[in-house]
């Protein structure tokens, strides 16, 4: 493997994790404060936006540390797979459960696809972790 190939996967993972953070922040610009809490918190016992946002920030650090050689790349790749997988499962659970809430917001068209966009972004983090693990193992 060339060094260039080994750095593409973690770089994509960093970009994907930043996209997750951006998508998590979108409702804060479109909904009022109490509506954001209802949107993210109702159907699941954990605050999805906080957990997924935290794991996305940790994923950025994990991918960057593995790419830059500050952490053992196989360890970083394994951690990235676990973080991305957990984010994807938690987001899928929330997206399926939050379906009935979407129609109650004034910007309904925006939020018809927001939860699925967040799921796609978290799946991209998990896929990047898998690609990275495949490259370094």
pLDDT digits (tens, 9 = 90+) for 54-112: 999 999 999 999 999 999 999 999 999 999 999 999 999 888 887 766 666 665 556 77
Q: Provide the mean pLDDT of the chain.
A: 87
SS3 70: coil
Number of compact structural domains in the chain: 1
Helices (H) and strands (E) in the chain, counts: 5, 0
Phi-psi region of 89 (alpha: psi -120 to 50; beta: other; left: phi over 0): alpha
Distance of alpha carbon 133 from alpha carbon 74, whole angstroms: 6
Residue in 119, 117, 113, 111 with CA at minimum distance from that of residue 36:
111
Distance of alpha carbon 14 from alpha carbon 82, whole angstroms: 15
Give the range of the structural domain holding residue 24, as residue numbers without chain letter.
Answer: 3-136
Query: Max alpha carbon distance in the chain (Å)?
Result: 51
Query: Given a cut of 90, is residue 2 above it in pLDDT?
Result: no
Query: Given a cut of 80, is residue 5 above it in pLDDT?
Result: no
């Amino acid at each position: 493997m060339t060094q260039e190939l080994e750095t593409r996967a973690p770089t994509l993972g960093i970009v994907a994790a930043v996209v997750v953070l951006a998508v998590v922040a979108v409702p804060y610009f479109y909904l009022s404060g109490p509506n954001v809490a209802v949107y993210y918190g109702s159907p699941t016992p954990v605050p999805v936006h906080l957990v997924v946002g935290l794991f996305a920030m940790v994923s950025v650090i994990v991918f960057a540390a593995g790419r830059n050689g500050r952490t053992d790349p196989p360890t970083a790749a394994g951690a990235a797979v676990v973080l991305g997988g957990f984010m994807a499962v938690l987001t899928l659970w929330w997206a399926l459960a939050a379906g009935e809430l979407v129609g109650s917001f004034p910007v309904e068209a925006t939020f018809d696809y927001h939860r699925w966009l967040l799921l796609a972004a978290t799946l991209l983090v998990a896929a990047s972790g898998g690609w990275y693990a495949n490259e370094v193992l």
